[in-house]
Each structure stands twice: as C-alpha cells, then as structure tokens.
Amino acid sequence: MWKQRFSNTGSLIFFIFKRDKIRIPIWLVSITLVTILTATSFSGLYANDQERQAIAETMKNPAMTAMVGKGYGLENYTEGPMMAHQMLLFTAIVVAIMSILLVTRHTRNDEEEGRVELIRSLPVGRLANVTATIIVLVCTNLLLALIIGFSLFSLGIESMSLNGSLLYGGALGATGILFTVITVLFAQLSANSRGTIGLSFTVLGVAYLIRAIGDVSNEALSWTSPLGWILGTEVYVNDYWWPILLTLGVAALIALVALSLHAIRDLGSGFIATKPGKIHASAFLKSPFGLAFRLQRTGIISWAIGMFILGASYGSVLGDLESFFSSNEMMAEMLPPVEGFTLTEQFMTMLMAIISMLCTIPPIMFLLKLKGEEKRGLTEHILARAVSRSRLLGSYLTLSLVFGLVMLLLAILGLWVAADSVMDDPISLQSFLKAGLVYLPALWIMTGIGVATLGLKSKMTGLTWIILGYSFFVVYLGGMLKLPEWMANLSPYGHIPQIPVEEINYLTLSILTLIAIVLTLVGFVGFRNRDIAG
C-alpha cells in the first residue's frame, strides 16, 4: 500500500526539474558567484597579519556577534576563518529562503492552482508529488554544497582546506535541506501558500534571533537554533562535521512527520483550520484596499512583530559597545571619535542601513501579492466590477507604502526601547528616528521598481529582489571588501546619508524620491495598458 503512494515519483522529479530548469540554475549560480567573489576579495584584502587582527578586534563587539555570529579563529584571523565568520550565516539564510520559496511553489502553490489535483487524476501516488519536491530540493542543496565546496578549494587560498571548504558547502546544503522539510511540514499545517511562507519565514526569523541572543549572552541558547548548529561547525578552524549530521537527522524526522500528515490530509485543506468569515462583509472589506489588507493581515501582523523584535535584539547589545571600544586600544586607533558623536552613534549607522533593507522586504511582498492574485485569475473578478486598474494597483501600493513605514518605525522603536534600557547615556528617540527615516526614499525606490516591473511585465518582478540582494551585498560588505564606490552608487541605499555622522543632503533625497515617483508612474501606465493574465 505504501509503495503505491509513491507511484511515479521519478516522473514527477523529472517534471519538477524541467519546470525549474531556469529558476534553480539562477539560484545556484548567484549564490556560488557571490561566495567566490567574496572569498576572492578577502584574499589580499589586508596587507599583513596586523591588519587582519585589527579587523578581528572589530568583530568581537557584541553588536557584530549578534549580527554575524560568534567568531571562531579570531586569534588567527586568516582568510578562511574570516570568510566563515562574516559570510556563512547570511549565505545560509539565503539558501534557506531559496528552499522555502521553491518548496512552496511545488506544494501549496500548485495545490491552490489545481495542478496537484490534475496530477492526482493520473496514475500517480498520493505522496508522489511532495516526495518528488523533497528529493529535488535535497539534490539541489547537495549540488550547491559540492559546487561551493570545490569552488572555494579551487581558489588555492592557504587557509581554505578541502575539508573546510566541503564543510562550508555542507553547512549551506544542510541548512537548505532542513528548511525544505520545515516548509513541507507547514504546507500540511497551513491551508494556503501565504501561511506556508509566513510560518516558514517565522521559523527562520526566530532561529536567527535566538542565535543572536544566545551568541551574545548564553551559548547554550544558541544550540537551540538550527542556525546555531551551522555556526557550530567552526568552519576553517576546527571543522566539526557532527552539527551537519545533527541537522540532517532532525530534517529526516521532520520529513517523516510531514509525509505522514500529507498521507491523511484532504487536498486543499490544512491542519490549521481557517476561521469562517462573516456572513456580510464590512464596507472596508468591500474596497480594493480593504480586501488587499484582509488577504495579507496575518503576514502584516507577523512581520510587524518580527521587525520590532529585530530592532530590540540589536538595541540590546548597544550598551556594551562604548565600553568595548574605549577599553580596546586597537579599536580606538581604528575608529577615532568624530567630534560630537559617540562611537556607538557611529556604529549605529551600519545597523540602520541593515535594518532599513530588512524592512524593505515586507512592503515589497505586500505589493507583489497582486502578481499572485493575477496569476490565479482573481483580479479579473475585481476588475469586472466598478474598479479601475489604477485603483486596484493603487490599493496594493498604498498598503505597501503605509506598512513599509510602519515596519521601519517598529524596528526603530524596538531599537530605541532596548538601547534605552541598557545604555548609560541613551541615544534619544529623535536621533534614532532621524537616522532611520532618512532611508524612506530608498525604500520608495524599491517599491517603485516593484510597481514598474509589475505594470510593464509581471514576470520581471524578480528584478526587485535582485536589486535588494545586490544592495545588501554592497552596503553590508562594501566597506569590509573595499569595493569601489561606484558599486554602492548603483544601489539606492548607497546614496542615503549616514545619520548622525553625516549631514542630510536634501537634494539627494529629493532626487531619489523623484525617481521613485517616475518608476511608480511608469508602472501605473503599463498596468493600465497591458493585458491581464487570466
């Protein structure tokens, strides 16, 4: 009986690979190129051991530990330990996101669009589709692990051994496999793709926050997070393989639970029951904006809580920075104080840049929800009524802009509340607001790019995420890798003044805002004139 449930799994594996013959290679090539580029940049970036140890001292402060993880090999900070310390965690998060999105596409999303029902009408086992999805993602992550492992070793960098390089790749692959099965599990619990993605990202976010708090305050707490396990491999230092085996073992158990639940679940349903709606809709719900908000209400609330916690987690370590900087002679030489500003305020500029880019993710997701509704043919029902295309797109844009501001404000509030409670000389809320809200024009440009791609051709919306990923790379790693200034200038975030250290350039902010408006208008014109996908 169980054998029949897996009937024709092989055919579906081939089918999924064929569907993603472009999507999967793009993910693999992008992650690999960024990894190789970063490793190559680290090689020769610092002229001698003294310069490497100087940067190692900057990595010992609590804020950096919370951000990138506990540093291993800081006493001998060669290229290998440097690469693992500064890049492994964030690359693992990107791999987890890849797995979450691909699994949701082939499970809940296909189920919502009726593809799974069509497949099951053929001589295909009940568990064949979900099993094929798991196998495809496991193969994808294993391939990624091997490509990155051998690529790093092939660079010929002395401190990047074959064992360490394969472990680096293995850590990424194990993370992807774990979040593959976590997403499959949530695809059984949730009744729709929004819930599946939301719950999976929530686990990823919580794992990051628990690891951050544990790395700063309690190492045992870090080991309750999957991301803590990955960093526990101590790549290029001690090269422990057992955390990888632990991760894969937990993934296997979760996969068995997910398959068992899928075997007894009704198609189109979820184990977390959807609450029945009201008999009569309110006037607010009858509007395009109200409907857009209702469809994404759970995601909005989840992201709002997450952004506040994110800000608070960073703010909780600011109290230790000033004493760390003042007691460290090497740091005092590297970061001479700017007149009128504390070292914590200077360091805050980088935190604000990262927080602002993370706060850009939810508004883009809220906006691009319209693309999913269009693909499923649901926008036609709205446009068939007395609703114009401009009003429909405007509703999603308004939702994106309003809650983009809300997410940024909540992150800033969380940062200030936590910092105020731990700092001897707290930074005012006004200073935090000024340093954070100055990034709004960059956020608006990213939203404008989303509107423009959505209006001109919905298949181009992936460009928005590419630009955001590029921005994170050049802004976060630009200083450490000494990237040329023109690379940062290609990102809207590269033009934002670093408050409070730099003065506000209102002309630059006005130009950025004007660009955002132009992009938005282009999107509206395109959406009004192009065909709606049915």
Query: Is the domain of 318 the same as that of 218?
Result: no
Banded pLDDT at 123 (limits 50, 70, 90): confident
pLDDT value at residue 168: 94
In tens, the pLDDT along 265-320 reads: 877 777 777 677 677 777 777 788 888 888 888 788 888 888 888 888 777 767 65
Asked whether residue 280 is domain-assigned, the answer is no
- Which of 234, 43, 226, 13 is closest to 140 using CA atoms? 13
Q: In the chain, count H helices and then E strands.
A: 27, 0
Cβ neighbours of residue 293 closer than 8 Å, sequence gap 6 or more: 300, 399
In tens, the pLDDT along 383-392 reads: 888 888 889 8
Inform me whether the pLDDT recorded for 323 exceeds 60: no
Secondary structure (DSSP) of 31-98: HHHHHHHHHHHHTTTSSSHHHHHHHHHHTTSHHHHHHH---SSGGG--HHHHHHHHHHHHHHHHHHHH
Which tokens hold the place of 315? 């703010």
pLDDT value at residue 142: 95
Query: Is the domain of 257 the same as that of 311?
Result: no
Query: Is the domain of 296 the same as that of 266?
Result: no
Mean pLDDT of 321-332: 53
Mean pLDDT of 408-436: 83
Lowest mean pLDDT among 89-98, 171-180, 241-250, 258-267: 258-267
Number of folded domains that form the chain = 2
Banded pLDDT at 534 (limits 50, 70, 90): very low
pLDDT value at residue 307: 87
pLDDT value at residue 100: 93
Query: Is the domain of 28 the same as that of 90?
Result: yes
Mean pLDDT of 51-63: 69
Asked whether residue 310 is domain-assigned, the answer is yes
Banded pLDDT at 446 (limits 50, 70, 90): very high
Mean pLDDT of 186-190: 89
Average pLDDT across the chain, whole number: 84
Q: How far apart are CA 180 and CA 420, in angstroms?
A: 39
Which tokens hold the place of 203? 């686990």
Most confident of 148-157, 326-335, 368-377, 512-521: 512-521
Q: How far apart are CA 58 and CA 44, in angstroms?
A: 19
Inform me whether the pLDDT recorded for 25 exceeds 80: yes
The residue range of the domain holding 87 is 1-270
Asked whether residue 277 is domain-assigned, the answer is no
Q: How far apart are CA 241 and CA 233, in angstroms?
A: 6
Pick 110 or 148 by higher pLDDT.
Answer: 148
Asked whether residue 78 is domain-assigned, the answer is yes
Inform me whether the pLDDT recorded for 3 exceeds 70: no
Q: How far apart are CA 262 and CA 189, in angstroms?
A: 9
The fraction of the chain above a pLDDT of 90, given in percent, is: 27
Query: Is the domain of 62 the same as that of 103?
Result: yes
Query: Is the domain of 394 the same as that of 489?
Result: yes
The fraction of the chain above a pLDDT of 70, given in percent, is: 88
Pick the last residue of a domain from 243, 270, 297.
Answer: 270
Mean pLDDT of 237-244: 90
Pick 428 or 396 by higher pLDDT.
Answer: 396
Query: Is the domain of 316 the same as that of 395?
Result: yes
Query: Is the domain of 211 the same as that of 359?
Result: no
In tens, the pLDDT along 193-232 reads: 878 888 888 898 889 888 888 887 778 888 899 999 999 8
Query: Is the domain of 236 the same as that of 304?
Result: no
Inform me whether the pLDDT recorded for 165 exceeds 60: yes
Pick the last residue of a domain from 270, 296, 311.
Answer: 270
Query: Is the domain of 323 the same as that of 237?
Result: no
pLDDT value at residue 532: 79
pLDDT value at residue 289: 87
Pick the last residue of a domain from 270, 297, 324.
Answer: 270
Asked whether residue 276 is domain-assigned, the answer is no
In tens, the pLDDT along 64-75 reads: 777 777 878 777
Most confident of 119-123, 248-252, 283-287, 322-326: 248-252
Cβ neighbours of residue 476 closer than 8 Å, sequence gap 6 or more: 90, 350, 353, 354
Query: Is the domain of 412 the same as that of 496?
Result: yes
Mean pLDDT of 142-161: 90
In tens, the pLDDT along 328-369 reads: 554 554 455 555 566 666 777 778 888 898 899 999 988 988
Query: Is the domain of 258 the same as that of 377?
Result: no
Mean pLDDT of 469-478: 80
